[in-house]
Homo-oligomer: A and B are copies of this chain.
C-alpha cells in the first residue's frame, strides 16, 4: 500500500464533519472558514514513543493522546477547537496499528467536533505531531498573563492521577483493582477540559493547562503574569484512588510535580467569584481552590511543615 492509499484509507475523513471545511485532506492544503469577529487559535504538540508514552502503548492510546494534549492547549485559551492536522512518523507501515491509531484519534476528535483536515505520513521513528486549530471571540481568549495579586488559584479534576497511573504501569507504584484501573486510565486517556475552558472566558483572569506538573505550570502562569503563587498543600484535591495507592505525602508529590494531567489551572479575581460559583453549581467538572496569587516571583507550597519552594516538574530536555 502506498503512502497515499494509506492516508486515504485511515485519515481521509477522521473526526467530525464540519460545514466550515471547504476542502479537507487530499489537496496540497486545507481550506477552512474562521467565523467573523473571531480569532484563529493555533497550538502544536509532539509526542514521542518512549518519552511521552510507553513504547508498548496501543495505537488507540497514542492517537487519543496526540490529540488530547493539543485540545488541552486550546481549552486553556478558552477556545473552541475545529480542525486538526496530523504529522505521523512511523517506523513501518503496520495497518493494524494505524487502524487502532485512527480509532483513538477519531473518537476524541468526534467527541470534540474536530475534523482532521490535513496529514502527512512519513517513515521514521514513531513521532506524532498534531496541530489543532480553533477559534475564540476576538479579544476574549484566556492567557497565562492575566493573574493579579489577590486572585485565587483553581485546578480542575484530580492532578497527580495520571502521573501515578504511569508509575503503576512502570512498576514504580503499586495499585490493584479499581484503583489501578482509575489511575492507569487517567494516564492512558486524558480528557481535555474543552467545554469548561470556554465557560471560563470572562471569569478566569489567567489560565494554563497542566502538562508538565501543577507546580511548574503554575510557575509559568505566575511568570507570564509577573506575580508569585502560593499553593496550600492541604487543599490539593487528591483522588481516592491516588490517596489509597500512594498515601497522603506521596500523593501530594504526584499532584504537585507529576505531569500528564491535562487539567486546567486558572486564576479568578475577587469580582468573579460569584460567577465561578454559579458555573460550578451548574454541572462543571470538579474544581478546587488550591491557593492564591501574591506579589513576588515563583511558586511556594505551604504545608504542615511550613513554606517551601515548589518542586520542579517535567522538562523535555532535562
Chain A residues packing against B (C-beta within 8 Å): 1-4, 6, 22-23, 26-34, 36, 39-49, 51-52, 72-74, 76-77, 79, 83, 85-87, 89, 93, 117-125, 127, 129, 131-133, 136, 138, 141, 143-145, 207-209, 220, 224, 315-318
Question: Given the complex, which residues of B lie within 8 Å of A315, measured CB to CB?
Answer: 2-4
Most buried by B among A1, A28, A131, A138: A28
Given known contacts A44-B85, A45-B87, A209-B28, is B2 in contact with A318 (CB within 8 Å)? Answer: yes
A89 touching B48, Cβ below 8 Å: yes
CB distance from A223 to the nearest CB of B (A): 9
B46 touching A89, Cβ below 8 Å: yes
In angstroms, Cα B133 to Cα A127, docked, is 22
A31 touching B316, Cβ below 8 Å: no
CB distance from A136 to the nearest CB of B (A): 7
For A217, the closest partner residue in chain B by CB is B28
B27 touching A42, Cβ below 8 Å: no
Which residue from B41, B119, B145, B220 sits with its C-beta under 8 Å from A31?
Answer: B41
A45 touching B317, Cβ below 8 Å: no
In angstroms, Cα B76 to Cα A21, docked, is 18
A33 touching B39, Cβ below 8 Å: yes
Given known contacts A48-B122, A48-B124, A123-B48, is B41 in contact with A29 (CB within 8 Å)? Answer: yes
* Contact sample, A vs B, 5 pairs, CB 8 Å cutoff: A28-B208, A32-B42, A45-B120, A51-B123, A121-B317
A39 touching B31, Cβ below 8 Å: yes
Question: Given the complex, which residues of B lie within 8 Å of A3, measured CB to CB?
Answer: 315-317
B131 touching A46, Cβ below 8 Å: no
B122 touching A44, Cβ below 8 Å: no
In angstroms, Cα B44 to Cα A86, docked, is 7
Given known contacts A28-B208, A31-B136, A131-B85, is B317 in contact with A42 (CB within 8 Å)? Answer: no
Given known contacts A4-B315, A23-B143, is B121 in contact with A29 (CB within 8 Å)? Answer: no
Given known contacts A2-B315, A123-B51, is B209 in contact with A42 (CB within 8 Å)? Answer: no
Most buried by B among A36, A41, A144: A41
